[in-house]
Amino acid sequence: MSAKRIHFVGSDHAETPAAIRRLKDYYGQAELGSADVIVALGGDGFMLRVLHQMVESGLPVYGMRMGRIGFLMNGYQDDNLLERLAQAKSVSLNPLRMQATCVDGTEHRALAINEVSLIRQSNQAAHLSLSINGSTKIDELVADGILVSTAAGSTAYNFSARGPILPLGTGALAVTPISPFRPRRWLGAVLPSAASIEIDILEPKARPVSATADYIEFRDVVRVEVVEDRDTVLKLMFDPDHSLEERILNEQFR
């Protein structure tokens, strides 16, 4: 990629402001509307926020790690940035689209790059019903919650909840229970990415549940629908020796 017009953004990490100033002084700061690429300095959490905020721009995002966790980031360097951008490989991701209906009847929509998660809000376990493509698969799941993960997010919360790692390009989604009590033997499912996933909260007032798309939370939900948004394409850029596909693959052998 030949990218000369760069729009820099940075997290609130202690070292980021000085690094941003150095980069802007050397490479300049293009306005978002005229930029070729967004360069984001921070960690994975910041990268998710940038992708959410910049989704309408359609610009690729190249991350450089400044925080402790940087699975979605490249290493930080001041020099040779134009050469690195020219050699970087682009990865296209489709996010999840969540529609959540709350107890008061309001409806909310949000995108999730990593996962959509439903979590109990009280000390009582959530009681959930799970349907796939309109067909009920689990009448009653008693658990702390449940999540739906993309391949890109499968090494994050999904993996911590003992869900499967999904290599990029598999065309699959992971549905993983969080601390399930019933049914005891159900550990989750791997579904085609075209699947429509519907989750109903069986006792929403007595056992309230929140729904979160990455970091966007809605509380007291009664129903959540999740599908892959194939009309939205997010582009991340990685150094050739820092392939996201390879990193996700390698996580299965750690």
Q: Which positions are annotated as active-site residues? A: 44
Spatial distance between the Cα atoms of 197 and 226, rounded to a whole number of angstroms = 5
In a 3-state reduction of DSSP, which class is residue 32? Answer: helix
Q: Dig out the tokens for 247 from the structure.
A: 């990193």
Q: Dig out the tokens for 102 from the structure.
A: 């709350």
Spatial distance between the Cα atoms of 205 and 30, rounded to a whole number of angstroms = 50
Spatial distance between the Cα atoms of 90 and 235, rounded to a whole number of angstroms = 6
Q: What's the order of all strands across the beta sheet hosting 6-10?
A: 6-10, 37-42, 61-65, 234-238, 89-93
Spatial distance between the Cα atoms of 214 and 153, rounded to a whole number of angstroms = 9
Closest CA to 199 of 223, 166, 231, 174: 223
Q: Dig out the tokens for 12 from the structure.
A: 């609130």
Spatial distance between the Cα atoms of 70 and 72, rounded to a whole number of angstroms = 5
Across the strands, what pairs with 211? 118, 218
Strands annotated E in 1-95: 6-10, 37-42, 61-65, 89-93
Q: Dig out the tokens for 57 from the structure.
A: 């721009």
